Amino acid sequence: MKTTLGPHVLTAMRAGHPLVALETALVTHGLPYPINLETIIGMEAAVREHGVIPATIGVLLGEVVIGLTEAELALLAKAASPMKVGVRELPVVSLGKVSGGTTVSATTYLAHRYGLTVLATGGIGGVHRGAGDSFDISADLTILGRTPITVVSSGAKAILDIGLTLEYMETQGITVVGYGTNIFPAFYASTSPYRLALKLDSPREVAKVALARDELGLQSALLINNPVLTALEIPWEELITYIAQIEGEIKTTGIVGQDVTPQMLSRLLAVTAGRSLKANLSLLIENARLGAEIALAICAERKRSNG
């Protein structure tokens, strides 16, 4: 299938300049227009503030683009019936003039394939509630388990079974780290009942761990969990009350699979009177910013080790 690298991405790669990959499922399925376009442009600006180049990945008219331009992002943000493109959908998008947003799994795969070492996103997918019956587990976890990349997120989406998600990541060999915290964040909530064994406190520490992973030849991701700002969070106990209510409502509708998450997030926006959206927008920008800092640190550490 045809894959295009944006001119700014090609230039940065040839110069050995640090880059940060960004996903676009948040543009096509996570946020409404025009907030979706404003947010991805804001994330790119946060990356550029540190002198790092953003490489936003998506699918336009059957073509994978590594480094969408602002005009291309506008087209994707307004696309009618865009596809949600995970790894399993990648082989088929070239059959038609499909446009779509890449999930964490697809973005992770494509970023690593084209030499990018850092991805910034909002929250990863994981093990869904009731997975013991449904076997509904996000492909994000499988791909993170076999892709040596550094991913910055604010934990797993709080609508998931976080305990089982952490167990599954351990099984996959994913190195799960709290950034400045020993508590696993739950997307809208900066804390959860789940403690982490590993904590890092600076981009340089993250870079050293990422390079050690590479030197060992390990093929799994380093997941950096950056909590949402406490001023904008929805505290855990309040959040899980809302989620339990919404989960009960959705079960009566018969909605399943990939459609569950968008429905839950949409209803959460309503019951929190917009607070979930404010938290979401903030953490996306902060994670992009941290991703840029880590990309710079990895570049600097490589130069030190080679110097």
Known active-site residue 23: yes
What φ, ψ does residue 212 adopt, rounded to 5°?
Answer: -65, -40
Q: Which of 1-5, 43-47, 73-77, 141-145 shows the lowest per-residue confidence on average (mean pLDDT)? A: 1-5
Give me the domain span that covers residue 152: 3-306
At residue 258, the pLDDT reads 65
Residue 255 has pLDDT above 80, yes or no: no
Q: Write down the catalytic residue from 23, 44, 233, 286.
A: 23
SS3 5: strand
Strand 63-66 with 3-5, pairing: parallel
Question: In which band, very low, low, confident or very high, does the pLDDT at 80 lie, cut at 50, 70 and 90?
Answer: very high
Share of the chain above pLDDT 70, in %: 99
Q: Write down the catalytic residue from 44, 89, 157, 301.
A: 157
Known active-site residue 247: no
Q: What CATH number does the domain containing 95 carry?
A: 3.40.1790.10
Cα 65–chain centre separation: 17
At residue 216, the pLDDT reads 98
User: Structurally, how many domains does the chain consist of?
Assistant: 1
Residue 261 has pLDDT above 80, yes or no: no
Pair 201, 292: CB distance under 8 Å: no
